[in-house]
Structure 1
C-alpha cells in the first residue's frame, strides 16, 4: 500500500537516492552528559560543552550521513544552523529520564515537546525510544504500549514518519544491573523478538524500526565466520517480525562488533543503520581536547563510516523495496489532480 504524502517525503528525506539509510545519532543525552560531568567532578555537565560536542558531530559527520537524529535540548539549538539542508532531520521526542520500578520502565515525552512541534519546525521524522520487556510488569507494559500508540496516532495526524526504537533492559530479577544506555548483558533473544512482534502490530503506526541486535554484540560472529548460520536465523526472524523497513542501532557496541552485526542485519533485509557511539565514542574519549576530537571525527570516525556505507550500498535492502509495500513503496497516490481533495487537513 502506498505511503501518505508526508510519510513518503519523510522516508525519502532520510534515505539516499537508492533508498538506503546511513543515519547518525546525535541525540544521546545521558552518555554524553555523564562523561562530561565526571571530567569536571560535578553533578551536571555544562550546557555549552554538551552542545558544542553535538554541534561538532553534526559538522564533521553529516557529509557521510543521509540524515541526522537531533534532540531539542542541545543539538537543535546549537547545531541546526550547521546542519546542511540536504540532510534529513530526525528529531527525538522521548525524555532520557525514565521511571524504573525494578519491574518495568515507564517512558514519557520531553516536556513542552510534541510531534506537532517537530513537524512545525521542519522535521522529517519523529524518533521515540521505548524500553520494553515482554515479561515486565503488565501495568508498565500497558503504559509503554499506550505511550507508543499515542505517538503513532500523532504521527499519522501530522503525516510524518514514526521511527521507533526498542531496547530491552534488566529487571530486578536479572543478574546484570544497569540503567545506562548500553546493551543489556545476558539479554535473551526471545525478549527482543517478542518486543518487535508486539510493536509491529498496526495499532502502533510504526513506519521504521530502529532495532538492537537480538544476540549480544560480543556473540555475533559476522556472516561467514564461525557458527554464523545460527545467529543469522535469529536476525532473519527479527526481520520477518518487523514487517516493515528497519535499521540497526549500535547500543554502544565497538566498531568491529557493530560492523559484524550489520552483516547479519543486511542479510536479513535491513535498510541501513542509525548509529551514534559506534561512530563517535572513541573521539569523545579525548574530551576536552576539542582539536583532537575534531581530528578523530574527521579521520578514524569518517573512515569507519565510509566502510559502513560501502557495506550498506552493497548489501542493504532499499526501504521502498520492502515486501510491505508490494512494490509500490515510492508510489504517490492519487497521482492526479484529485490529490488536493482527498489529502486530509490537520
Structure 2
C-alpha cells in the first residue's frame, strides 16, 4: 500500500514519529529548549551564565529525567549536540529541536517576529540524527506578516518532506496592538486564533501540531463552564487536525493547571504533550540538594502526565496488522519510494 510510502505518515517520517513516542503511541516530551529565560533561572543576570554552565544544567536535567520521557525538545546551542555526544540522551529517546530564532527576555517579555535561526537548516537537523523539526510561529491571521509566515511554513514543509523528517509547528497567539491581553475580548480572540491555527497549518501540510491550551483555567480551578468551553475548543482543534497528530504545550502555568488542561485535550483527541517549566520548575538553579529533591517531583509529574494520556487520550496511530502489511506492502516497494 503506497500510503505507507508517501503522504502524511510516509516511511521516513513514520519512523521518526515512532521514535519520539512511547511504544503505545503517546508523545511524552520534556521541553528544555528555552533560551535566555532558562539562563535566568541559573543566574538572574543571565548574561553572566556561560555556555558550559548552561550545558551542564540542561544535561543534568536530561540525565535525571530521561527514563520518564519519550523524547526531549532540545536547543541547538547548549543541549542538542552535547546530549548526543555525551550519550546523555538515550538511544531509545527521541530528539526534537527548534529551527526558529526566539527572542524571549528573562523578565517574561518576548518579541513576536517569526524567523528561522541563521545557519540552521532542516538538512543540518536531519544529518545530526534528530527525529523532528519544531518551528514556533507568532501567529495572528490578521497580522501584516501572516502571508509571509504561510510561505515560510510551506517552504519548511517542502524541506522536511525532501529530507523525510516530521515538521512540528507551534503557533503562539499574541494580542493585537492596543488589545489588553487579559480582557474578555482578548481571551475570546486567543481561543479563536488557536483553533483557527490548527486548520491553517495542517492545511499547509505539517506533520504535528503543538498547540496552546484553548481556554483559561488559571483563575478558575472549579469553573465547570470554563472547562466545558475549553473542551469544545479542543474538540474543534482535533477536528481541524483531521488525523494529523497534535500535542499540547505547557506554557508558563503551574503543574496543577497543566494537569487539568492535559486531561481536557487528551479527551478531545490529543496524543501527547511537549511540556517544559510546568514539569521542571524548581529543578534548575539553586543548591544541588534542592535540585535533586525537585527532580523527584519532576519524575512523578512526567509519569502522572503519561498516565493521564493513556487513560483519556488516543495514540497518534494504530499500527496495521502484520498480515495486512505482508499482503499489501510487497517486494518492490523500494522502487516506488520517493519516486513521485
Would the TM-score normalized by the shorter structure come out above 0.5?
Answer: yes
Instruction: Quote how far apart the aligned CAs of 1:219 are.
Output: 5.4
* 2:195 aligns with one of 193, 196, 215: 193
TM-score with structure 1 length normalisation?
0.84
Checking the alignment, whether the CA contact within 8 Å between 1:30 and 1:96 is kept in structure 2 is no
Distance, in Å, in 2 between the alignment partners of 1:247 and 1:193 is 13
**Corresponding residue of 2:232:** 233
Pairing 1:73–2:71 present: no
**Corresponding residue of 1:274:** 274
Instruction: Quote how far apart the aligned CAs of 1:266 are.
Output: 0.8
**Corresponding residue of 2:107:** none
Specify every segment of 5 or more residues in structure 1 that has no aligned partner in the other structure, as ranges: 99-103, 178-183
Checking the alignment, whether the CA contact within 8 Å between 2:42 and 2:49 is kept in structure 1 is yes
Instruction: Quote how far apart the aligned CAs of 1:97 are.
Output: 3.0
Checking the alignment, whether the CA contact within 8 Å between 2:271 and 2:315 is kept in structure 1 is yes
Distance, in Å, in 2 between the alignment partners of 1:220 and 1:206 is 34
Checking the alignment, whether the CA contact within 8 Å between 1:127 and 1:165 is kept in structure 2 is yes
Distance, in Å, in 1 between the alignment partners of 2:81 and 2:316 is 30
Distance, in Å, in 2 between the alignment partners of 1:162 and 1:25 is 16
Checking the alignment, whether the CA contact within 8 Å between 1:220 and 1:231 is kept in structure 2 is no
Checking the alignment, whether the CA contact within 8 Å between 1:252 and 1:277 is kept in structure 2 is yes
After TM superposition, the structure 1 = structure 2 runs for residues 126-275 of structure 1, keeping only pairs within 5 Å, are: 126-137=133-144, 140-176=145-181, 188-201=190-203, 204-218=204-218, 221=221, 226-227=224-225, 228-243=227-242, 244-275=244-275
Instruction: Quote how far apart the aligned CAs of 1:334 are.
Output: 6.9
C-alpha spacing 1:46/1:185, structure 2 compared with 1 (3 Å): farther
**Corresponding residue of 2:313:** 316
Pairing 1:335–2:329 present: yes
C-alpha spacing 1:149/1:333, structure 2 compared with 1 (3 Å): farther
Distance, in Å, in 1 between the alignment partners of 2:115 and 2:315 is 32
Superposition RMSD on alpha carbons, in Å?
Answer: 2.8
Pairing 1:54–2:58 present: yes
SS of residue paired to 2:17: helix
SS of residue paired to 1:218: coil
SS of residue paired to 1:157: helix
After TM superposition, the structure 1 = structure 2 runs for residues 13-52 of structure 1, keeping only pairs within 5 Å, are: 13-38=19-44, 41=45, 43=47, 45-52=49-56
TM-score with structure 2 length normalisation?
0.86
SS of residue paired to 1:126: strand
Instruction: Quote how far apart the aligned CAs of 1:57 are.
Output: 1.6
C-alpha spacing 1:28/1:332, structure 2 compared with 1 (3 Å): farther
Per-residue deviation, residues 13-54 of structure 1 (Å, max 9, x unmatched): 11111111111111111320234342xx36453222221221
SS of residue paired to 1:256: helix
Instruction: Quote how far apart the aligned CAs of 1:187 are.
Output: 5.6
Per-residue deviation, residues 216-248 of structure 1 (Å, max 9, x unmatched): 2415758xx623333311111121112211011
Instruction: Quote how far apart the aligned CAs of 1:281 are.
Output: 1.4
Checking the alignment, whether the CA contact within 8 Å between 1:107 and 1:147 is kept in structure 2 is no
What is the count of residue pairs matched by the alignment?
320
For structure 1, which segment, 210-219 or 18-27, has the greater mean C-alpha deviation from structure 2 after superposition? 210-219
C-alpha spacing 1:257/1:20, structure 2 compared with 1 (3 Å): same
